[in-house]
Amino acid sequence: MAEELIITNNLSKEEKYQELYPQIFALIQGEDDLIASLSNMMSALKYGFGWLWVGVYFVKNSELVLGPFQGPIACTRIQLGRGVSGTSWHKKETIIVPNVDEFPDHIICNAASKSEIVIPVFNKNNEVALILDVDSNQLNDFDEIDKKYLTQIIQLIVPLL
Ligand code: SME
């Protein structure tokens, strides 16, 4: 396993994803533990892009419970349909929020968060098993490119569910 990520400066967002994807793939290759793989994946994304917070919440019974993350401390439990993450779980769809202040019922875990993307991950029964939550301290930081590549990246852990 490589000890350090290769992160080139001045790449476009898409080039950065293309540089990171094979490295994240290699990081979790051969590791069948879900928590270990998610932990390294969250670190690679956080340090690759410099976002404020990158992490997952697991669906456990009737709520989301905090899983591996990188960034400031966060809310540990979120109810179905609450906040961006609970809404993504409820609607079973990715949500991009350009300005969290304009999202009704946004849950403030950290006041520095300005925009976010939340992507649900499905198990073999097509139920949401976890959600990926990425927060930025910049407004309007996420778009369809992030949706495309972050979905591909988080999908890598589906065989471990
Ligand atoms: N802002 C999220 C809560 C989770 S954190 O940002 C880590 C939400 O509204 O669901």
Cα–ligand 1 centroid distance for 5 (angstroms): 27
Whether residue 1 lies inside any domain: the answer is no
Q: Which domain holds residue 20?
A: 13-160
Pocket of ligand 1 (CB under 6 A): 53, 74-75, 78, 83-85, 106-107, 109, 113, 116, 133, 135
Q: pLDDT 10s digit of each residue in the chain, 161 long? A: 667 888 888 899 999 999 999 999 999 998 999 999 999 999 999 999 999 999 999 999 989 999 999 999 999 999 999 999 999 999 999 999 999 999 988 888 888 999 999 999 999 999 999 999 999 999 999 999 999 999 999 999 999 99
Token readout for 160 is 């471990």
The reported pTM is: 0.95
Whether residue 2 lies inside any domain: the answer is no
What pLDDT score does 30 carry? 84
Whether residue 7 lies inside any domain: the answer is no
Residue whose CA is at the smallest distance from ligand 1 atom 5: 109
Residue whose CA is at the smallest distance from ligand 1 atom 6: 109
Whether residue 71 lies inside any domain: the answer is yes
The ligand 1 atom at the shortest distance from the C-alpha of residue 71 is 7
Q: Report how far residue 10's alpha carbon sits from residue 42's, in angstroms, rounded to the nearest whole number.
A: 22
Question: What residue type is 134 in one-letter code?
Answer: V
CATH number of the domain where residue 115 is located = 3.30.450.40
Residues 6+ apart with CB under 8 A from 37: 27, 28, 31, 156, 157, 160
Number of domains into which the chain is organized: 1
* SS3 of residue 149 by DSSP: helix
Whether residue 137 lies inside any domain: the answer is yes
Whether residue 6 lies inside any domain: the answer is no
Whether residue 134 lies inside any domain: the answer is yes
Question: How many helices (DSSP H) and strands (DSSP E) are in the chain?
Answer: 4, 6
What pLDDT score does 4 carry? 86
Whether residue 36 lies inside any domain: the answer is yes
